[in-house]
Structure 1
Amino acid sequence: MVHGIRKMHGFRLHATDDELGHVEDWYFDDEKWVVRYLVVKTGFWFLGKEVLISPHSVTAVDWEKRTVDVSLTRAQVEESPDIDTHQPISRRKEREFHLYYNVPAYWGGLGLWGHEMVPDGRPLEAEAAEQTGCEPEDEHLRSVREVIGYRLHAVDGDIAQVNDFLFEDQTWALRFLQAPLTGRGGGRALVIPPKLVDHVVWSRTQVAVNASREQLLSAPALEKGETTVDRDFETRLFTHYTTHPYWVSEEAERE
């Protein structure tokens, strides 16, 4: 199922033995457009400090009760490597995090999660642990909340502002950017596959896409208040942009 990720903001995080805090933000990598970490603002027990939780540790998300269950104890989180969520996160820090929690690294491999397509929570194997030290130090993690408000720039000019991401709750992949239209748009929201994104100008808070304003305006869109899409909508959207759906491309990569 594909959901608007901002709906998860404020969800309470439940460890196996206690409550940890609430979801404050998400870090995604700007190469594969997948959420790599939830940023959790802890309670008074940890002085309100922000910590990272990998989707590998998430066991359930209850959209009605607004909760996220994780397979960790409060002590594990309290003793985890110190990571400043207000600074760029290096690959070295990520390695420390993955080794501490004993979960596989997501970098390397053709899948969305290393050699896999979903974060399955399997423990890190010794061979994989050695390989985590062989990756480049480039920083590709970005804050979802940082990108909210970025201008969506078509090939012939600005058209809207990004106000959400639609993500798949099994893979944690950001499947679409959402950008509401103002004025004559009547509250409708553009839905943009990351495949259309040519580049992001971080210094200018701009997302440039390989489509004209006319192409974007004539594409299937969400009505005001809608934050989920089904496979029929996705199929019509990819047909409009004459590009392969993500499920076809990812299936081909696995073969």
Structure 2
Amino acid sequence: MTNHEWAYTTESGHLAGTDLTGWRVEAADGHIGKVDKHSDEVGDAYLVVDTGVWIFGKEVLIPASAVTGVDLEAQTVHLGLVKEQVKNSPEFHSDKHLADRQYREEIAAYYRTGGPFSGGGMGAA
């Protein structure tokens, strides 16, 4: 797995140790949900975004490199992704996928190339 996908860029404004749980998440073209879980570990940083009713409560795993801005005052995370990319991303199940390196590499490839997701390790939910 390439670790640069799983790291915040210096331009994002993310400050290590900032708890992003519950923060609003904005794609480039509008609101997509809130941060349910996150990690800012070096080389293993990500967001788990709860999309709520927007796409039927689906949770998605988003590599930290997709974060383009962190607004501390508004408690909002901005992504360099559009809604359609997030909507079409593979569903995330923390009990099955958080430690699954193959799934994480496929997620990174999905966001790097814009899809499609091959589905490895996804199985029926």
Could you tell me the TM-score, scaled by structure 1's length? 0.36
Residue 100 in structure 1 maps to residue 113 in structure 2: no
- Identical residues among aligned pairs (%): 36
User: Is this contact kept in 1: 2:26–2:77, CA < 8 A?
Assistant: yes
The 5 A counterparts of 1:47-62 are 47-62=56-71
The equivalent of 2:36 in structure 1 is: 24
1:4, distance to aligned residue in structure 2 (A): 3.6
Q: 2:100 aligns with which of 73, 82, 90?
A: 90
Residue 70 in structure 1 maps to residue 79 in structure 2: yes
Structure 2 gaps, min length 5: 1-13, 114-125
The 5 A counterparts of 1:118-137 are none
The equivalent of 1:13 in structure 2 is: 25
Whole-angstrom CA distance in 2 between matches of 1:2 and 1:72: 21
Whole-angstrom CA distance in 2 between matches of 1:60 and 1:92: 28
Could you tell me the TM-score, scaled by structure 2's length? 0.68
User: Is this contact kept in 2: 1:38–1:53, CA < 8 A?
Assistant: yes
Q: Could you say what the CA RMSD is over the residues aligned between the two structures, in angstroms?
A: 2.3
User: Is this contact kept in 2: 1:11–1:67, CA < 8 A?
Assistant: yes
Q: For 1:155-187, what per-residue CA distance to the aligned partner results, in whole angstroms no more than 9, with x for missing partners?
A: xxxxxxxxxxxxxxxxxxxxxxxxxxxxxxxxx
Residue 80 in structure 1 maps to residue 89 in structure 2: yes
Structure 1 gaps, min length 5: 104-255
* Distance 1:94-1:35 versus aligned 2 partners, 3 A rule: closer
1:78, distance to aligned residue in structure 2 (A): 1.1
Greater relative contact order structure (CA < 8 Å, 6+ sep):
2
Q: 1:36 aligns with which of 42, 45, 55?
A: 45
1:2, distance to aligned residue in structure 2 (A): 4.6
- Count residues with an aligned counterpart: 100
Amino acid at match of 1:5: T
The 5 A counterparts of 1:163-182 are none
